[in-house]
Amino acid sequence: MDGASQATVDQIELYWQPGCSSCLRAKEFLRSRGVDYISVNIAEEPERMDATVARFGLKTLPLGVKGDRCIAAANLVDLASLIGKGEVVDETPVMSPKELVDRTDAFLAAAQRYAHQFPAGSEGVIVPYRGWDHRRMLHHVFFIVQAFVWQVQEHGMPVAVAYEMPVPDDIASYADMAAYGDEMRAVLQAWWASTDRADMAKTFTTRAGTKNVHQLLERACWHIGQHTRQVEHTLREQDGIAPNGPITEAMLDQLPLPKNVWFDV
């Protein structure tokens, strides 16, 4: 439904932005359940997001609002509760931690391959549907690893703040980005090999509710996977270049990522 429409007391308003993986996942969740919701694209209506944040004090995306209740809609358990039909959502990861580490590494390797394929000099070209340039998009794919490790090692850097950090000046070319990918793959493997890594059952308070390390690892894996799909799509559709080693259905199997790449229809 058009974001300019006003929600009734029984309707959900979903605040989202283009390219956001959790936003797309929440939209697909609502659509698959036949929920008639109000879609608010904050890139087009930032003032509505500002008013909602001022009202509820919760600033995250996606954001779900119904009446006097506001939730972080990245948490599908809470989103199901907001729908109010009694659905119980099980967010227990299907894959083992080791499988998730291996799958994450496969996505990172794919993003590195694609980085090497983009035409030199196009680093500052804006990615369609996202509003970021190639440089920031690729950096984000790799940086998710660092944000995850900082989070579970209780580094003290909130994930929301970490994601807003600018791309370092020394990561300028596609070769720099691919090299940064090597660094982040090493960070992931070092964390996994560490004898003092957090127990998988240890919980953390996040914007999407209380999550254990296993769930946060799964979240990092599919988050990286979804953005790598977007990088692959951009390489193929915007630049007309066949991806070197495209993402396969097997790589997406058993992960709770969105069905689509950019949009829910």
Cβ-contact 117, 243 below 8 angstroms: yes
Cβ-contact 110, 232 below 8 angstroms: yes
Residue with tokens 């990561």: 171
Distance, CA of 131 to CA of 123 (rounded, Å): 13
Instruction: Please report whether residue 66 resides in a domain.
Output: yes
Instruction: Please report whether residue 188 resides in a domain.
Output: yes
Domain limit, last residue, from 50, 83, 116: 83
One domain, residues 43 and 109: no
One domain, residues 113 and 238: yes
One domain, residues 101 and 173: yes
One domain, residues 40 and 117: no
At 263 the pLDDT is 85
Domain span holding position 212: 97-252
Minimal CA–CA distance to 71: which of 51, 88, 57?
57
Distance, CA of 77 to CA of 112 (rounded, Å): 34
Tokens of 141: 């794919």
163 vs 4, higher pLDDT: 163
Judge whether residue 9 has pLDDT over 70.
Answer: no
Instruction: Please report whether residue 221 resides in a domain.
Output: yes
Tokens of 82: 């907001």
CA of residue 90 relative to chain centroid, distance: 19
CATH code for the domain of 184? 1.20.120.450
One domain, residues 78 and 104: no
One domain, residues 107 and 78: no
At 68 the pLDDT is 94
Instruction: Please report whether residue 198 resides in a domain.
Output: yes
Residue with tokens 């974001």: 3
CATH code for the domain of 70? 3.40.30.10
Domain limit, last residue, from 57, 83, 109: 83
Cβ-contact 103, 154 below 8 angstroms: no
Report pTM.
Answer: 0.90
Distance, CA of 182 to CA of 196 (rounded, Å): 23
Distance, CA of 92 to CA of 181 (rounded, Å): 28
One domain, residues 143 and 248: yes
C-alpha angle with apex 111: 177 to 223, nearest 5 degrees? 110
Judge whether residue 97 has pLDDT over 60.
Answer: yes
One domain, residues 110 and 144: yes
Instruction: Please report whether residue 262 resides in a domain.
Output: no
Mean pLDDT of the chain: 92
Instruction: Please report whether residue 2 resides in a domain.
Output: no
Q: What is the mean pLDDT of residues 118-134?
A: 93
Residue type, 9: V
215 vs 3, higher pLDDT: 215
C-alpha distances in Å from residue 228, one per residue of 29, 65, 116, 225: 21, 30, 14, 5
Instruction: Please report whether residue 138 resides in a domain.
Output: yes
One domain, residues 179 and 228: yes
One domain, residues 73 and 44: yes
Distance, CA of 185 to CA of 187 (rounded, Å): 5
Distance, CA of 253 to CA of 83 (rounded, Å): 27
Cβ-contact 191, 197 below 8 angstroms: yes
One domain, residues 133 and 234: yes
